Amino acid sequence: MIAAAVAAFLILSPVPRVQAAEISAASAILMDGETGTVLYEKNAHEPRLIASITKLMTALVVLESGHDQKEEITVPSDWAGAEGSSIYLRPGEQVTLEALLYGMLLQSGNDAATLAAVACAGSVEAFAEKMNAKAAELGMKDSHFTNPTGLNDEGHYSTAYDMALLARACLENDTLAKIVATKSVALGGRVFTNHNKLLWQYEGCVGMKTGYTEKAGRTLVSAAERDGMTLICVTLNAPNDWADHAALFDRGFAGYESCLLAEEGEVLCRLPVSGGLAPFCGVSAGEAARLCVARGEEIQRELVLDQTALTAPVAQGTVLGEAVYRVNGEEKLRIPLVVITDVDCCLRTPSGWERFWDKIAGMLPG
C-alpha cells in the first residue's frame, strides 16, 4: 500500500517547467552521454556535498566486486541500522545482494548501502578506498568518498562534472542501468519504488538517483534518451531540481544532435599498392567517430595520411594517419586510420627459360 501511494504521488504531481536560464541549482551540468561533450554547465567543477547520489558509486563498486547478485547476506545480530532513509533490515535476516542494490538505488536505503559495502569489502573504510580508486580510474579529479551512503562528512564530496562522469560509467554497466531504470520491483518480501519522479513523467528518462540532506540540499543525477542521443544531467543543491532537469533536457534535445560520423572498421579511402596481390588497399576508421553538435552545424572531415601509396607486404592494423573532424573550423575529434586487411606480395612470374627447363626436368625419369 505504501509503495502504491508513493507511485501515485510520483505519477500525479507534475514536474513544473522552467527555462534553462532559471536553473535553481548551485551547480549543474548537461552532458552528452556518448561523447562526454558538455552542453551546459554552472559551477560544474565546484566540490559540494552530494548526499545519496553517492549510491551510484556504491552500486558500481559492488557490481564490479565479483560478488554474485544472488549471494545471500545475513544481517548481523547486533545490527543497529543506519541513519536516514532505510529499507528496515532486521538482525538475523537473510537478504540477497540484488535486493540490497535495488533497495539502495530505488528507495535510497542507507542500511542497504552499508550492508552491501561491508559484505563486499569487510568494512566501510575498506569499501571507501575502493570507491576512491574507482573515482580515480574514471577521472573524477575533484571527488572523495568516505562512506557508501552519502551522509554528510567534510571528506565526502564531488562535483557536478565528476558525477556526470560517474553516470556515464553507470550507464555502460548493463545491470546498473537496468536497476536505475526500474520504476517498481518486488524482491525478498519487499516492494521498492523508484523515487525519481522524472522516470515517471519525463519522456525518455532512463532514471538514475536522487539525494537529499539538509546540508547538501536536493541533489539529482538523471539521464534521458531520444532519437539515439543520451543526455546526462546533474544538479547539486537545487531547490527546484525536477524542473531544472526537465528544462536542461528540453534544451539539449531541441538544440543538439548526436552524429555517428564513421563506424569502427568503415573504409574511408583506398590507397594504391605496388607489388601486392591486390592493386588497392582499404584504409578504415580505427575506432568509431561520433560528435554531439548544435543542430545545423557543419562538420568537416580531413584525412591526414602519412603516405599516399603503399608497397607490399602491408599488415592489417598498420596506422597510416588520422581522420580529423572540425566544426566551424575548430578541431573536435581525431581518430586513427588503419589498414583494413593484410596485403601479401605477388609471387614472381617465372621467365621463359625457367619454364623451359622446368618442362624438360618433368620429362626426365625420377
Catalytic residue list contains 108 = yes
Determine the number of helices (DSSP H) and then strands (DSSP E) in the chain: 10, 17
Catalytic residue among 27, 42, 55, 158: 55
Catalytic residue among 27, 52, 143, 222: 52
DSSP 84-132: SS-----TT-EEEHHHHHHHHHHS--HHHHHHHHHHHHSSHHHHHHHHH
Q: Which helix (H) or strand (E) holds 26?
A: none
Catalytic residue list contains 55 = yes
Contact 301, 324 (CB under 8 A): yes
Q: What's the Cα-to-Cα distance from 25 to each of 42, 54, 143, 357, rounded to whole Å? A: 8, 18, 19, 89
Q: How buried is 128 (Cβ within 10 angstroms: 0-12 exposed, 13-18 middle, 19+ buried)? A: buried
Q: Which residues contact 286 (CB under 8 A, 6 or more apart)?
A: 264, 319, 335, 336, 337, 338
Record the cell numbers describing residue 134, joined without a space: 574507482
Q: Which helix (H) or strand (E) holds 242?
A: helix 241-255
In angstroms, the CA 357 to CA 267 distance is 46
Catalytic residue list contains 141 = no
Q: Which amino acid is at 188?
A: G
In angstroms, the CA 302 to CA 8 distance is 54
Catalytic residue among 27, 42, 85, 108: 108
Catalytic residues: 52, 55, 108
